[in-house]
Chain A
Amino acid sequence: MKIAIASGKGGTGKTTLSTNLAAFLSETEKVVLADLDVEEPNSGLFIHGNLIFEEEKYKMIPEWKEDSCTFCGECQKNCNFHAVIQLGSQILVFPELCHSCFACSELCPVNALPMIPKRMGQLKHFALNNFDFIESRLDIGQEQAVPLIAQTIDFIENNFTDQTIKIFDSPPGTSCPVIEATKDADFILLITEPTPFGLHDLSLAVETMQELKKPFAVIINRYGIGNDDVIDYCQKNGIPIVAKIPNLRKIAELYSKGDLIYNDVPEFKEELIKIRDFIKNEI
C-alpha cells in the first residue's frame, strides 16, 4: 500500500507526520518511508539508520555530434521544451530543460543526437530496527526533480513487497514533482494548518488530487491556532478530517532537536492512532 503525504502549503508538517507515522506503524507493520522531496530532503534529520546501499542516479540527455549533423532542424521542431535549439549550423542542448523524452534523438535521421547518461543525484537506503528509509537527493544545480522522484519510486517498487506500507514524504506545492510523488499512491493524506494560508493552499492541493482522481483525506496540524475555516471547508466539500494534531510547544521543541515526537507527546500519539485506524479500516 502506498500512502503519499502532501500538503500544498510548505511547512505544514509533511515530514513531521511522515517520519512519526512511519516509525509508529513500523511497531506493528512492515514499513518503508521514502523522502520524495528530493530538492530538499529532510526526513533524514529525524530518521537515523544504517546506510546499507547507495547509488548514483542518472538521467538521459542528448549530446550533439557535429560531424553527423545535417542541420535539418527536426530535433528542435520536435522538442516541446526548447531544450534543443538550432542556430544556423550549430545545435545547442540545454540539459536543464530536457525531459529525457528521446524524441530529438529517435527522430534524428542521422543519429546526431545520441542519448548519454548524466548524473542528477543519488539515492540512499537506510535500515532501522524495524523499517527502511529511502532518501534521494538532487545534486545542486539540477532543476528537475521529477526524473529522480520517478526512479526513487521504481526503486521502492522493485525492492519492497506490496504488503509493505510505503509512505511517501512528498514535495510541497501542486506542480510536477507533487504529481509525480502522488500519482501512483493508493491514498493521499493532505496535511494543513488551520490558517487562511493553509486553507488557500489546501484547496489547491484538493483540486489537484481531484484532477488526478485520487482518494484523499485531510489532517489538520497545529490545531488550535487560526480559525475554523479549514474544518468548514472540509465539511462543505465532504472531505474526511482524519486527525487534528494539537499546537503544542513540546512538539516544536522535540522537532527542533531532530527527535521523533509520538513517544513523548501522548496527544500526538492519539492522533497517529486515529490515522493508523483510518488506514486500516478505510484504505
Chain B
Amino acid sequence: MKIAFTTNGLEWNSKMDPRFGRTEYILVYDEEKKEFTSFDNREIENEAHGAGPKTSQKLFELGAKVLITGNGPGGNAATVLEKAGVKTYVGAGEMTVKQAYEAYQNNQLKNI
C-alpha cells in the first residue's frame, strides 16, 4: 500500500509538515516495494484558493491510499480525499517521517 506523508524533506528523518494543503512536500512510501517517491508541492504558495482540494487531487494521482499528516485537511480537501478513497490519519505534525510511520503502525494516530 502507498502511504503519503506531508513533509518538509525527502527522508525518513525529515520533519513532518503539519499543514496538509500547503505542505512543502508529499512523500509517498510504497510498503510493498519499500521505496519512496516524492512530489515538490511548494508551488502551492502561489495559490490563493483551493490548496486543499488541489493537494488532495495530487494524492489521488500519486495513488496513495493512506495520508499521514499533522493538523488534518479542511472540509473541501476532506471531501476530495474521501472520494479518492484515501484514509486520513492526523496528529503527526511534530514528528519525523519515521516516527510518524511507526506511530501509524502502532495505531497511535487518529483516523478522521
Contact = CB atoms under 8 A, between A and B. Distances in A.
A92 B83 contact: yes
Contact of B57 (A80, A87, A96, A97): A87
Interface in B53-76: 53-54, 56-57, 60, 76
A81 interface: yes
Contacts of B47: 82
Identify the interface centre among A76, A81, A82, A85: most chain B CB within 10 Å of its CB: A82
Contacts of B103: none
B80 A97 contact: no
A77 to B, nearest CB: 12
A94 B57 CA distance: 13
Given A92-B79, A92-B83, A97-B76, A86 B50 contact: no
Contact of B60 (A80, A87, A94, A96): A87
Interface residues of B, number: 15
A94 to B, nearest CB: 5
Contact of B53 (A80, A88, A97): A97
Interface centre among A79, A81, A85, A96 (most CB of B within 10 A): A85
A165 interface: no
A90 interface: yes
Nearest to A81: B49
Nearest to B61: A87
Contacts of A81: 48-50
Contact of A82 (B49, B79, B83): B49
Interface string B27-61: 00000000000000000000111110110110010
A33 interface: no
Nearest to B79: A92
A90 B57 CA distance: 11
A82 B76 CA distance: 10
Interface of B: 47-51, 53-54, 56-57, 60, 76, 79-80, 83-84
Given A82-B54, A94-B79, 6 more contacts: A79-B50, A82-B51, A87-B60, A94-B53, A94-B76, A97-B53
17 contacts: A81-B50, A82-B47, A82-B57, A83-B49, A83-B50, A85-B57, A87-B60, A87-B80, A87-B83, A88-B60, A92-B80, A94-B53, A94-B79, A96-B76, A97-B49, A97-B50, A97-B76
